[in-house]
Amino acid sequence: MEEKTSRTPEISLEDTFLMAVAGLPEEDLRAAVVAEALGYLQQGFDAHYAGGGATDDDILVGDNSYALAVETIARLDEPRFVAVASRMIRDGAGLIAGGGAVSLQTWIPHLAGLLDIISEEGEERSEARIEGAAEELRRRSG
């Protein structure tokens, strides 16, 4: 039996996003909702697109995780979040369908777009926050 491998970033999108928003001047409750949705999204990608082939059960788990991601982000009732998340899914699925994997670099602009909606600091500053958080998580994990 072939071992399944992740085709998404090794570090948690949820943790990366939460670490990036931790440095914001004031807490925005939307950040926790976005982070939760990112966690479900990553679970969905990992279940659906695991290297080694997804089983029927994996596909069901993936579908459930995608549904939770959509349901979670929809609680915010802000189309801007849905638009960025949709592009994130499209770009990730496109890479995987082409036989590749999704690196954190692929999703950093999308994560920065989500953060910018919350922080209103601009995409460049938001991207720097995401990259800094990802680097810190990598450092901590060894």
**115 inside domain:** yes
pTM equals 0.87
Highest mean pLDDT among 23-37, 86-100, 105-119: 105-119
Report which DSSP code applies to 49.
T
**3 inside domain:** no
**What total of structural domains would you count in the chain?**
1
**108 inside domain:** yes
Query: Looking at residue 5, what is its pLDDT?
Result: 59
- Where in the sequence is the domain holding 50, given as residue range(s)? 13-141
User: 141, 108 in Cβ contact below 8 A?
Assistant: no
- Confidence check: pLDDT of 55 > 80: no
Q: Which residue has the tokens 């399944």?
A: 4
**77 inside domain:** yes
**2 inside domain:** no
The token pair at 24 is 């914001």
Rg (CA), the chain: 15
d(CA 129, CA 22): 10
The token pair at 57 is 């059960």
Which whole number is the average pLDDT over 73-87?
89
Residue 1 pLDDT class (50, 70, 90 cuts):
very low
**48 inside domain:** yes
Compare 90 and 132 and report the one with higher pLDDT. Answer: 132
- What is the per-residue pLDDT across 4-36, written as a single tens digit (0 to 9) for each? 556 677 899 999 999 999 978 777 889 999 999
